[in-house]
């Protein structure tokens, strides 16, 4: 929807805008109250009990929805326009100590630093910077504990939701595949260490893919990979071994021996290759490498579960399959790759939750009323973008606020 088309009556009463401004994408999370947001006494008591909150009435629970949206960082002006149009910038908080009484919005990611002045100039708001890794972990822990059917495995085209036992969640490895990749060992709420990373990430796939195929968008590049055959571009073990497996060291003839390796001997130019094949090979190369580096880090710390997030994944079957196969292959089935339905919004969710330090003590997702996008309910080599219809994506939830005692 063009923000300019939004009419006044369509604007939800939104608050608590949180931003995650990354190298490739800006992610937004905000809360909108239901019209009849306040709970009656009985409902309040039930919710309080469920949340483990005192029932002395000091904790009003607001019911509403969490909304998700994303923009390309290179099109930050569209994002500013969206925020202005929906008046999201008015839903921050104010520091009364600050003389200007400026509205403050929570933000994370490198862009919270890079674009702080732009937000100030364009929207008159200050960005309150939250640590990126902190927010990723907070967002992941929240999703894994509070949102039903959040984590799932994906192997051989078969998707299966994983029941998370709250008492047996830690430790795990969180792999955030954004422009670059961060690998974080998570031991508990706020207890984590970034143990590794790699610069071969989503930005590499999209950047190289754009140069090699002339694709105009990330989705187009991903879509192309469906029809591609990586064997045209990649050098396989069989290409080296005359069609045979190298079984002594466990390599089948179809294993990729060298990504893009065929291009050195084919005597072909870039134009002689189909964009579909290049895209497929590139996707496989990046996904496989991330799966392998993730496995090695899980091995370093004896971690059995690896959760993959970040917008590179995009719920894309071939990407998830490649990552999962790499983890399965290298760990000989010992470690498990899992994916998250809200893959791209971990950091933004964590940032949203950091409002708790100012006004909101907590956030609870009303599990009975969560929406499950149909796009995730079937398998196949297709693009799934559970949250890409940005403006319509939301989770029903409750937010509870308490008075702060100094």
Ligand X SMILES: Nc1ncnc2c1ncn2[C@@H]1O[C@H](COP(=O)(O)OP(=O)(O)OP(=O)(O)O)[C@@H](O)[C@H]1O
Distance of CA 372 to the CA centre of its chain: 16
Q: Which of ligand X, ligand PAU, none does residue 341 bind (CB under 5 to 8 Å by kind)?
A: none
Of 227-235, 298-306, 307-315, 349-357, the segment contacting ligand X by CB under 6 A is 307-315
- Report what 314 binds from ligand PAU, ligand X, none; CB cut-off 5-8 Å by kind: ligand X
Which one-letter DSSP state was computed for residue 132? H
Give the start-end residues of each E strand in 140-279: 151-155, 158-161, 172-177, 181-188, 191-198, 235-236, 256-258
- Structure tokens of 110? 């490198």
182 binds ligand PAU (CB under 6 A): yes
Q: Does 180 bind ligand PAU (CB under 6 A)?
A: yes
Binding-site member from 178, 228, 309, 344 for ligand PAU (CB under 6 A)? 178
Largest CA distance in the chain: 77
CA–CA gap between residue 232 and residue 282 (Å, rounded): 12
DSSP of 303-359, one letter per residue? --EEEEESTTTTT-HHHHHHHHHHHHHHTTTSSEEEEETTGGGHHHHHHHHGGGGTT
Q: Which of 19, 25, 236, 320 touches ligand X (CB under 6 A)?
A: 25
Position 23 contacts ligand PAU (CB under 6 A):
yes
Which of 12, 64, 91, 178 touches ligand X by CB under 6 A?
178
124 burial class (0-12, 13-18, 19+ CB within 10 angstroms)? Answer: exposed
In which residue are the tokens 């401004």 written? 21
Assess 200 for contact with ligand PAU (CB under 6 A).
Answer: no
CB of 53 to ligand X, least distance (A): 33
* DSSP state at residue 60: P
Binding residues for ligand X restricted to 239-298, rule: CB under 6 A: none
Of ligand PAU, ligand X, none, which one does residue 205 interact with (CB within 5 to 8 Å by kind)? ligand X
Measured from the CB atom, is 25 or 125 closer to ligand PAU? 25
**Which positions touch ligand X (CB under 6 A)?**
22-25, 72, 109-110, 178-180, 202-203, 205-206, 218, 310-312, 314, 344
**Which positions touch ligand PAU (CB under 6 A)?**
22-23, 110, 132, 178-182, 197-199
């Amino acid at each position: 929807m063009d923000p300019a088309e939004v009419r006044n009556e369509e604007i939800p009463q939104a608050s608590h805008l949180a931003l995650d401004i990354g190298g490739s994408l800006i992610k937004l999370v905000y809360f909108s109250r239901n019209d009849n947001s306040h709970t009656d006494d009985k409902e309040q008591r039930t919710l309080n009990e469920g949340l483990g909150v005192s029932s002395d009435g000091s904790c009003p629970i607001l019911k509403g929805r969490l909304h998700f949206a994303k923009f390309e960082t290179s099109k930050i002006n569209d994002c500013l326009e969206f925020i202005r149009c929906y008046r999201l910038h008015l839903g921050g908080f104010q520091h009364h100590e600050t003389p200007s009484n400026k509205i403050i919005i929570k933000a994370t990611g490198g862009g919270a630093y890079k674009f702080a002045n732009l937000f100030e100039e364009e929207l008159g708001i200050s960005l309150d910077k939250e640590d990126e890794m902190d927010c990723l972990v907070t967002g992941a822990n929240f999703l894994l504990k509070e949102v039903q059917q959040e984590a799932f495995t994906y192997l051989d085209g078969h998707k299966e939701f994983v029941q998370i036992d709250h008492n047996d969640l830690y430790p795990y490895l969180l792999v955030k595949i954004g422009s670059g990749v961060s690998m974080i060992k998570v031991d508990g709420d706020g207890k984590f260490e970034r143990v590794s990373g790699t610069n071969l990430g989503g930005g590499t796939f999209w950047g190289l893919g754009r140069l090699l195929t002339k694709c105009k968008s990330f989705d187009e590049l991903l879509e192309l990979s469906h029809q591609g055959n990586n064997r045209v571009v990649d050098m396989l073990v069989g290409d080296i071994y005359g069609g045979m497996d190298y079984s002594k060291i466990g390599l089948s003839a179809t294993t990729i021996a060298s990504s893009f390796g065929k291009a050195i001997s084919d005597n072909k130019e870039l134009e002689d290759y189909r964009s579909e094949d290049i895209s497929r090979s590139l996707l496989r190369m990046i996904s496989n490498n991330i799966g392998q580096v993730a496995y090695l880090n899980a091995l370093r710390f004896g971690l059995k579960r690896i959760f993959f997030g970040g917008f590179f994944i995009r719920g894309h079957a071939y990407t998830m399959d490649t990552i999962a196969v790499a983890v399965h292959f290298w760990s000989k089935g010992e470690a498990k790759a899992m994916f998250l339905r809200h893959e791209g919004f971990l950091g933004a969710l964590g940032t949203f939750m950091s409002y708790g330090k100012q006004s909101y003590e907590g956030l609870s997702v009303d599990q009975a009323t969560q929406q499950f996008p149909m796009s995730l309910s079937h398998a196949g080599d297709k693009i799934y973008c559970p949250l890409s219809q940005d403006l319509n994506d939301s989770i029903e939830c409750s937010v509870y606020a308490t008075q702060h005692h100094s």
